Amino acid sequence: MSWAIRTEVVQGEGVTEETLSLRPPAHRVSRRAIGYWTVWAAVGWVVLIGIQLVFVLTSDDAPTWLTVMLTVSCVLAPLHLLVMPRWRYRIHRWEVTGEAVYTQEGWLNQDWRIAPISRIQTVDIERDPVEQLFRLAKITVTTASAAGPVKIAGLDHAEALALAAELTKTTQATPGDAT
């Protein structure tokens, strides 16, 4: 990502302009995550369209706005299912260094999260049924703040296990109660 904004940094007598931006984290998530995101989004759309269908079919004289909404949903759903997972796959990235965990996620709205290793309190691995189907796993790293958990979703399961083990080892090696 890059911004067209410039900050003025005064260096000595001359004024130079420096633009800061975040570089993307080093690793992509597993490619199978595209399938995973598609499945969950499809579930959402099926429920939404299903409810609307029931209303339209059961009422004798369905109001026009309901039919319009149903049509809009039916057009948006395939677009969303095609675009969102691929877009996400291009955005979702992660990196673990000796000092920090760094992730980039989202599609329309994007988030970058950085948590220092020294502040990590717990490392959890979660797998919902769909994740199990795609042999994926999600790692959640929590710190003492409720605002700061870092999640890495869509990791290959084996890779996630190794990463969690490594993180736990580093965390234990860091003294203090992480607050």
Partner 1 sequence: MSTEAPSDAAVGQWRRLDRRMLLIRPVLDVVKSLPVLIGTVLLGRGNGWEWFGLGVTTLTVLVGVSHVLTSRYRIAEGQVEWTTGLLLRKHRAIPLDRVRTVDVTSEPKHRLFSLSAVRIGTGRHSPAQGASGDQLVLDAVSQAEADRLRTVLLHRKEIPAEAEAAPPPEEVVAEVDRKWVRYAPFTLSGFAVVGAVFAAVWHFAHQLNIAPENVGPLRELMDDLANTAVWLIVVVAAVALLVVVSLLSVGGYVLSFWNFKLTREAEGTLHVRRGLLTTRSVSIEEDRLRGVEVKEPLPLRIAGGARLTAIAGGLREGKGGDKGGGLLLPPAPVGRVHEVAADVLRENFDPATVPLNRHPRRALTRRLTRAVGAVLLPAAALFGLAWVDFLPSWMWQVTLGLVPLAAFVGWDRYRTLGHAIVGRYLVSRSGSLARATVAIRREGVTGIVVSRSFFQRRAGLITVTAPIAAGSGSCQVVDVGGSAGLAMAEQAAPGLLTPFLRREAQR
Binding residues for partner 1 (CB under 8 A):
1-7, 16-23, 25, 95, 97, 99-100, 102, 106, 108-116, 119, 121-122, 142-150, 177-179
Nearer to partner 1, 137 or 141 (CB): 141
The three-class DSSP label of residue 176 is coil
Q: Determine how β-strand 93-96 pairs with β-strand 136-142.
A: unpaired
Q: What is the torsion angle, in degrees rounded to the nearest 10, for the CA atoms of residue 142, residue 143, residue 147 and residue 148?
A: -80
Nearer to partner 1, 53 or 128 (CB): 128
C-alpha 62/C-alpha 82 separation (Å) is 30
Structure tokens at 86: 């691929």
Give the shortest CB-162-to-partner 1 separation in angstroms.
Answer: 22
Nearer to partner 1, 41 or 178 (CB): 178
Give the shortest CB-120-to-partner 1 separation in angstroms.
Answer: 9
Closest CA relative to residue 92, chosen from 9, 169, 11, 156: 156
Give the shortest CB-46-to-partner 1 separation in angstroms.
Answer: 25
Nearer to partner 1, 59 or 122 (CB): 122
